[in-house]
Amino acid sequence: MANLPQLKQEIRFTGQLGSLLNIIKAIAAQQFQVLERSLRFNPAFFEAVQAIAATFDLDRLSHPLTSGVGPAGVIAVTSDAGLLGGLNQQVILAAVREYRKAPGELMIIGKRGARYAAEQRVSFREFPGVQDETRRGLAEQVRDYTLNLVLGGRLGMLTIVHPYASSFTVQRVEVVHVVPCQRWLKAQPAVRGVRGRLLMESSTASVLEYLVWIWLGQKLFEAFGMSRLAELAARAVHLEMSSQELQRRKNKQMRRYFRERHEVIDRGMRELFAAKALYANEAER
């Protein structure tokens, strides 16, 4: 038989914890809405880059950005926040799969992702986690580091793996192939190129390097933003599941409390009637 005062305290604690989770969940949902409104993507930018690159014959251009020969570099974007329901682990598993196709260099954004990568027993380079105020600077830092590896011949392929919020309740892992650059250029909808002969002061290789440089910086910046959005959504969903589990536990505790309370009352009534009957018998004697 449980101690009823102790069981009552457990019910009170479960209810208070559930209320706290609901508050945190509401904050995460509000942060998601604020960040979603603040994110401004620019598809016209990528269309302009593609329009310029469409004037090149990339299949005939011999360049580290187009060859696709060499080790693979993978950028895995994870979150340093908790309560994500395994989203970081999914990103790392997808990134490690890409990395092991042709091991080159694995770059992890965020400390929690670095811990998951260490469990996979792979070598990696760690970068700081994504913060709203440092998102642009971090994107430029990672872009410069990775492109130097590609242009220096140390990497022949480059991929970004990051969480993506399809909606508030659905998150998935997005895999973006960057190098060779034909992958993302040809994956975009066809854009009408420039008619006639294009005159360029710089070489085709230099122009291509600049296009990939600005494209990758913007792509990483947007990927970091989408990762933050997915982080907030995953946290809210995980908190909702935890809140429902706490409510089920509280209901179970309540049923147990009332059952045992009724048993105590019934036992007291039986003892009272037994004592009354005994007293009546003694009085008759």
pLDDT digits (tens, 9 = 90+) for 23-59: 887 887 777 777 777 776 667 777 777 777 767 777 7
Lowest mean pLDDT among 43-47, 93-97, 255-259: 43-47
Domains in the chain: boundaries: 42-193+200-238
Half-sphere exposure of 89 (CA within 13 A, CB side): 6
Average pLDDT, the chain: 82
**Helix ranges (DSSP H) in the chain:** 4-38, 43-53, 64-67, 87-101, 111-119, 135-151, 182-187, 204-284
Q: Tell me the fold of 42-193+200-238.
A: Pyruvate Kinase; Chain: A, domain 1 (3.40.1380)
255 pLDDT above the threshold of 90: no
Q: Considering the entire predicted model, what is its pTM?
A: 0.74
137 CB-near residues (< 8 Å, 6+ apart): none
Question: 126 pLDDT band (50/70/90 cuts)?
Answer: very high
Output 177 or 85, whichever has higher pLDDT: 177
- Please tell me which residue, 277 or 265, carries the higher pLDDT value: 265
Which is higher by pLDDT, 15 or 195? 15
Query: What average pLDDT does this structure show over 207-222?
Result: 89
SS3 state of residue 10:
helix
Kindly write down the DSSP assignment for every residue of 51-74, as one continuous string: HHHTTS-GGG---HHHH--S-EEE
Which of helix, strand or coil describes residue 104?
Answer: strand
Task: Please check the confidence at residue 19 and state whether its pLDDT lies above 80.
Answer: yes
Q: What pLDDT does residue 189 have?
A: 47
pLDDT of residue 187: 47
Dihedral sign for Cα atoms in the order 93, 95, 98, 104? negative
- Does pLDDT of 238 surpass 60? yes
Q: The dihedral of CA 91, 77, 176, 99: what is its sign?
A: negative
> Quick check: 174 and 163 in contact, CB under 8 A?
yes
Q: How confident is the model at residue 75 (pLDDT cuts 50, 70, 90)?
A: very high
pLDDT of residue 283: 65
Measured CA to CA in angstroms, residue 11 lies from 2, 16, 23, 110 at distances of 13, 9, 19, 38
Q: Are 32 and 237 in contact (CB under 8 A)?
A: no
Q: What is the pLDDT of residue 197?
A: 58
Among the residue ranges 68-82, 226-240, 266-280, the one predicted with the least confidence is: 266-280
* 115-124, 134-143, 191-200: least confidently modelled range: 191-200
The per-residue pLDDT for 193 is: 47
Residue 93 has pLDDT above 90, yes or no: yes
Q: What are phi and psi of 192, to 5 degrees?
A: -65, 125
Percentage of the residues of the chain whose pLDDT score is greater than 90: 26
Does a cis peptide bond (omega within 30 degrees of 0) precede residue 180?
Answer: yes
